[in-house]
Every structure is written in C-alpha cells, then in structure tokens.
Amino acid sequence: MERLIRSLLQELGEDPAREGLANTPARVASVFQYLTRGYHQDVEKLLNGALFEVDYDEMVIIKDIEVYSLCEHHLLPFFGKCHVGYLPSGKVIGLSKIPRLVDMFARRLQVQERLTQQIAETIQCQIAPQGVGVIIEAGHLCMMMRGVEKQNTKMITSAMLGRFREDPRSRMEFLDLVRT
C-alpha cells in the first residue's frame, strides 16, 4: 500500500521524498488499515456471547451512536449519528455491543443505505426480536468538498424490520423517542 501511495503522490505532481511527505505513505497505509478494520471483524466474536435472556418486551433504544465510514465511491469520509431500536422477544444484546456492531460495519468501504440495512439485519438474525429499527443521519464529504459542494446537507436512511415495519404505532414510538 505504501508503494501505491508514493506513486499516487508522484501522479499528483508531488515529491514523495520531500520532508513533509517522506512518511506519508506509511501513515496513509496505517490510516486505511484502521478505517477499514471492520473487514477483519466477525459478528460472533464481537458479540462474545453478550446475548441475554430477559423477561422484557418494551422498546430498547440506543441513540446518537457516532458513525464514521468511508464512501466506497470516492474514498471520502461520511459521518453522523446512528439510532438503533428493537423490541425484545426474550433476548437482549449487551449495551456496548450495539455501538461495536455499528462500528464493525461502518469501518468498511460503504454506502449509507447498505450500512443501515446490515446493522438491522444482524440484530434481527442474532436475537430474533419482534422488530428492529435503524436510522442513520450523516454528512458526506464527497458532497461537501466536491460535486455539488453543499455543506449542510444530511442524508437520512432507515431500515425497519418486523413490527417497526408492520405496526405504525411501534414505528411512530421509535421515531418519537429518537427525536427527543
């Protein structure tokens, strides 16, 4: 990867050996390995058995989870907040595991739509709740720094499964609680 970054710097008209750029290929390679570490993570290992039997069937919401990802089209960051809710059906996920799950999928080259769906489907698969809702609100640097250059535009995506999709009252309760 360092060789490729060095070549990229040359193609841009830079001297990769100059003082400010001499260590850039190694730093960029390290950054990209960190920003895409989700490819090397596994859901089962990440959850590490933190699925608990409970007698609770009211809504569980974890909101304002910071999201940082890279747009797969331009390799530029997008970032914002993720809100996750589910209606348990006998099992819950350990609280810290939801943000870790969000990070695992976000730390890959992504489109926001797929990221939203992957989070919802994984929760559905792991604990079979009555319903799952995921909303991501994010700003995309590929839109802010280039192209249309709109600084204050946010993209909002949602994935609603089970009762969140089928029952308007459950959906509205989730949306209302996320807004507060």
Query: Which candidate in 110, 130, 140, 173 is catalytic?
Result: 140
Is there a catalytic annotation at residue 83? no
* pLDDT-derived band at 67, boundaries 50, 70, 90: very high
- In the set 74, 117, 124, 126, the catalytic residue is 74
Asked if pLDDT for residue 105 goes beyond 90, the answer is yes
What is the tens place of the pLDDT at every residue in 4-52? 999 999 999 999 999 999 999 999 999 999 999 999 999 999 999 999 9
Which residues make beta-bridge pairs with 138?
Answer: 80, 155
112 is catalytic: yes
CA torsion sign, 27 to 105 to 67 to 137? positive
**Is there a contact between 78 and 71 (Cβ–Cβ < 8 Å)?**
yes
Q: Collapsing DSSP states into helix, strand and coil, what is residue 78? A: strand
Catalytic residue among 110, 112, 118, 130: 112
Mean pLDDT within 122-144? 97
**Residue 180 in this model has a pLDDT that exceeds 90:** no
pLDDT band at 137 (very low <50, low <70, confident <90, very high): very high
User: What secondary structure letter does DSSP report for 96?
Assistant: T
pLDDT band at 85 (very low <50, low <70, confident <90, very high): very high
Q: Which residue in 33, 66, 72, 125 is the catalytic one?
A: 72
Q: Supply the DSSP symbol for 13.
A: T
Tell me, what's the pLDDT at 75?
96
pLDDT score for 66: 98
Domains of the chain: 2-35 (no CATH), 49-179 (3.30.1130.10)
Catalytic residue flag (residue 125): no
Confidence (pTM): 0.95
